[in-house]
Structure 1
Amino acid sequence: MNHPVTCDPRNHAYKNGKTFEDCKAEARRVTSQLAEEIVKNEAGEVSWNKILEATDHDELVYKLTLKYLREKGYDIGYNKNPRVKVDISQIQTANNEKPTIF
Protein backbone atom coordinates (compact mmCIF):
# COMPACT_ATOMS: atom_id res chain seq x y z
CA MET A 1 0.00 0.00 0.00
CA ASN A 2 1.28 3.45 -0.89
CA HIS A 3 2.13 5.91 1.81
CA PRO A 4 -0.44 8.77 1.68
CA VAL A 5 2.24 11.49 1.80
CA THR A 6 3.92 10.22 -1.37
CA CYS A 7 0.59 10.18 -3.22
CA ASP A 8 -0.32 13.70 -2.19
CA PRO A 9 0.32 15.98 -5.19
CA ARG A 10 0.72 18.99 -2.91
CA ASN A 11 3.92 17.50 -1.51
CA HIS A 12 5.54 16.83 -4.88
CA ALA A 13 9.03 18.29 -5.16
CA TYR A 14 9.87 20.22 -8.30
CA LYS A 15 13.27 21.51 -9.43
CA ASN A 16 15.66 22.04 -6.49
CA GLY A 17 13.14 20.49 -4.09
CA LYS A 18 10.64 23.35 -4.34
CA THR A 19 6.94 22.79 -3.79
CA PHE A 20 4.30 24.06 -6.20
CA GLU A 21 3.56 26.93 -3.80
CA ASP A 22 7.27 27.86 -3.80
CA CYS A 23 7.23 27.87 -7.61
CA LYS A 24 4.14 30.09 -7.69
CA ALA A 25 5.71 32.56 -5.26
CA GLU A 26 8.93 32.67 -7.28
CA ALA A 27 6.97 33.16 -10.52
CA ARG A 28 5.06 36.10 -9.01
CA ARG A 29 8.35 37.67 -7.88
CA VAL A 30 9.90 37.23 -11.34
CA THR A 31 6.71 38.57 -12.95
CA SER A 32 6.95 41.78 -10.92
CA GLN A 33 10.61 42.23 -11.88
CA LEU A 34 9.93 41.60 -15.57
CA ALA A 35 6.91 43.94 -15.60
CA GLU A 36 9.17 46.73 -14.30
CA GLU A 37 11.80 45.85 -16.89
CA ILE A 38 9.26 45.93 -19.74
CA VAL A 39 8.14 49.41 -18.69
CA LYS A 40 11.75 50.66 -18.43
CA ASN A 41 12.87 48.97 -21.66
CA GLU A 42 12.91 51.35 -24.62
CA ALA A 43 11.39 48.68 -26.89
CA GLY A 44 8.70 47.90 -24.29
CA GLU A 45 9.25 44.16 -24.51
CA VAL A 46 11.37 41.24 -23.31
CA SER A 47 12.20 38.00 -25.10
CA TRP A 48 11.20 34.55 -23.94
CA ASN A 49 14.90 33.76 -23.57
CA LYS A 50 15.24 36.60 -21.05
CA ILE A 51 12.32 35.15 -19.09
CA LEU A 52 13.89 31.68 -19.22
CA GLU A 53 17.14 33.11 -17.82
CA ALA A 54 15.26 35.06 -15.13
CA THR A 55 13.53 31.84 -14.02
CA ASP A 56 16.85 29.94 -13.93
CA HIS A 57 15.61 27.56 -16.66
CA ASP A 58 12.92 26.19 -14.32
CA GLU A 59 10.13 25.09 -16.68
CA LEU A 60 7.30 25.35 -14.15
CA VAL A 61 8.32 28.81 -12.94
CA TYR A 62 8.77 29.89 -16.58
CA LYS A 63 5.25 28.78 -17.54
CA LEU A 64 3.71 30.32 -14.43
CA THR A 65 5.55 33.58 -15.14
CA LEU A 66 4.10 33.70 -18.66
CA LYS A 67 0.65 32.96 -17.20
CA TYR A 68 0.94 35.78 -14.66
CA LEU A 69 2.22 38.21 -17.30
CA ARG A 70 -0.82 37.37 -19.45
CA GLU A 71 -3.10 37.93 -16.44
CA LYS A 72 -1.52 41.38 -15.98
CA GLY A 73 -2.50 42.27 -19.54
CA TYR A 74 0.75 41.65 -21.41
CA ASP A 75 0.82 40.12 -24.88
CA ILE A 76 2.99 37.02 -24.32
CA GLY A 77 3.45 36.30 -28.03
CA TYR A 78 3.62 32.89 -29.66
CA ASN A 79 6.22 30.61 -31.30
CA LYS A 80 6.77 32.92 -34.31
CA ASN A 81 6.88 36.03 -32.13
CA PRO A 82 8.56 34.94 -28.86
CA ARG A 83 8.30 38.26 -27.04
CA VAL A 84 6.33 39.66 -24.14
CA LYS A 85 5.13 43.22 -24.60
CA VAL A 86 2.39 45.56 -23.49
CA ASP A 87 -0.88 44.62 -25.17
CA ILE A 88 -2.20 47.93 -26.53
CA SER A 89 -5.71 46.52 -26.85
CA GLN A 90 -5.78 46.04 -23.06
CA ILE A 91 -4.83 49.64 -22.25
CA GLN A 92 -7.77 51.88 -21.48
CA THR A 93 -8.02 55.43 -20.27
CA ALA A 94 -9.56 56.40 -16.96
CA ASN A 95 -13.01 56.83 -18.49
CA ASN A 96 -12.89 53.42 -20.24
CA GLU A 97 -12.36 54.77 -23.75
CA LYS A 98 -9.95 53.19 -26.19
CA PRO A 99 -6.71 55.19 -26.35
CA THR A 100 -5.80 57.18 -29.41
CA ILE A 101 -2.79 55.64 -31.14
CA PHE A 102 -0.65 58.07 -33.09
Structure 2
Amino acid sequence: MSESCRIDVWLWRARFAKTRTLAAAMVGGGRIRLTHNGAQVRLDKPSRSVHVGDGLTFATGGRLMDLRVEALGERRGPAEEARALYSLVAADQG
Protein backbone atom coordinates (compact mmCIF):
# COMPACT_ATOMS: atom_id res chain seq x y z
CA MET A 1 0.00 0.00 0.00
CA SER A 2 1.33 3.44 -0.85
CA GLU A 3 2.11 6.11 1.74
CA SER A 4 -0.07 8.79 0.14
CA CYS A 5 -3.27 9.06 -1.86
CA ARG A 6 -4.88 11.71 -4.05
CA ILE A 7 -7.29 13.80 -1.99
CA ASP A 8 -10.16 13.30 -4.46
CA VAL A 9 -9.72 9.51 -4.33
CA TRP A 10 -9.57 9.55 -0.52
CA LEU A 11 -12.73 11.67 -0.19
CA TRP A 12 -14.52 9.26 -2.55
CA ARG A 13 -13.26 6.15 -0.68
CA ALA A 14 -14.26 7.69 2.67
CA ARG A 15 -17.74 8.35 1.20
CA PHE A 16 -17.70 12.14 1.58
CA ALA A 17 -18.46 12.37 -2.17
CA LYS A 18 -20.58 10.05 -4.31
CA THR A 19 -18.19 10.28 -7.27
CA ARG A 20 -14.57 11.24 -7.83
CA THR A 21 -15.82 14.08 -10.03
CA LEU A 22 -17.78 15.53 -7.10
CA ALA A 23 -14.78 15.04 -4.81
CA ALA A 24 -12.58 16.87 -7.32
CA ALA A 25 -15.11 19.72 -7.44
CA MET A 26 -15.00 20.01 -3.62
CA VAL A 27 -11.23 20.36 -3.75
CA GLY A 28 -11.18 22.60 -6.82
CA GLY A 29 -13.67 24.92 -5.15
CA GLY A 30 -11.23 25.56 -2.30
CA ARG A 31 -13.51 23.88 0.25
CA ILE A 32 -10.89 21.55 1.78
CA ARG A 33 -8.19 22.58 4.27
CA LEU A 34 -5.33 20.16 4.91
CA THR A 35 -3.08 20.16 7.97
CA HIS A 36 0.17 18.30 7.27
CA ASN A 37 3.17 18.43 9.61
CA GLY A 38 1.60 21.32 11.52
CA ALA A 39 1.07 23.55 8.47
CA GLN A 40 -2.46 24.23 7.21
CA VAL A 41 -3.14 24.90 3.53
CA ARG A 42 -6.29 25.24 1.44
CA LEU A 43 -6.17 22.57 -1.25
CA ASP A 44 -6.64 23.76 -4.80
CA LYS A 45 -6.06 20.66 -6.94
CA PRO A 46 -7.59 17.17 -6.71
CA SER A 47 -4.18 15.65 -7.39
CA ARG A 48 -2.79 16.88 -4.04
CA SER A 49 -1.74 14.07 -1.70
CA VAL A 50 -3.11 13.14 1.70
CA HIS A 51 -1.15 11.02 4.21
CA VAL A 52 -2.08 9.03 7.30
CA GLY A 53 -2.05 11.45 10.24
CA ASP A 54 -3.07 14.49 8.19
CA GLY A 55 -5.96 16.65 9.34
CA LEU A 56 -8.79 17.68 7.02
CA THR A 57 -11.38 20.40 7.58
CA PHE A 58 -14.36 20.93 5.28
CA ALA A 59 -18.10 21.49 5.27
CA THR A 60 -20.47 18.79 4.09
CA GLY A 61 -24.19 18.35 4.56
CA GLY A 62 -24.42 21.56 6.59
CA ARG A 63 -21.80 20.38 9.10
CA LEU A 64 -18.19 21.39 9.58
CA MET A 65 -16.04 18.25 9.58
CA ASP A 66 -12.69 18.27 11.35
CA LEU A 67 -11.07 14.87 11.04
CA ARG A 68 -7.81 12.95 11.09
CA VAL A 69 -6.86 10.56 8.29
CA GLU A 70 -6.36 7.11 9.88
CA ALA A 71 -5.93 5.04 6.71
CA LEU A 72 -5.84 5.55 2.95
CA GLY A 73 -7.96 2.57 1.91
CA GLU A 74 -7.65 0.49 -1.20
CA ARG A 75 -11.20 0.70 -2.55
CA ARG A 76 -14.56 2.35 -2.06
CA GLY A 77 -16.11 -0.19 0.26
CA PRO A 78 -19.15 -0.29 2.50
CA ALA A 79 -19.86 2.56 4.95
CA GLU A 80 -18.31 0.67 7.88
CA GLU A 81 -15.05 0.29 5.95
CA ALA A 82 -15.17 3.98 4.95
CA ARG A 83 -15.57 5.11 8.58
CA ALA A 84 -12.35 3.28 9.46
CA LEU A 85 -10.42 5.65 7.17
CA TYR A 86 -10.81 8.64 9.53
CA SER A 87 -11.50 9.70 13.09
CA LEU A 88 -13.59 12.72 13.94
CA VAL A 89 -11.75 15.46 15.82
CA ALA A 90 -14.77 17.73 16.22
CA ALA A 91 -18.11 18.27 14.58
CA ASP A 92 -20.18 21.44 14.44
CA GLN A 93 -23.84 20.52 14.29
CA GLY A 94 -24.46 24.02 12.81
TM range (shorter): under 0.3
Larger Rg: 1
Point out which structure has higher relative CO (alpha carbons under 8 A, 6+ apart).
2
When normalised by structure 2's length, the TM-score is: 0.24
Whichever structure has more helix as a proportion of its residues is 1
What TM-score does the superposition give when structure 1 sets the normalisation length?
0.23
Which structure features the higher share of strand residues? 2
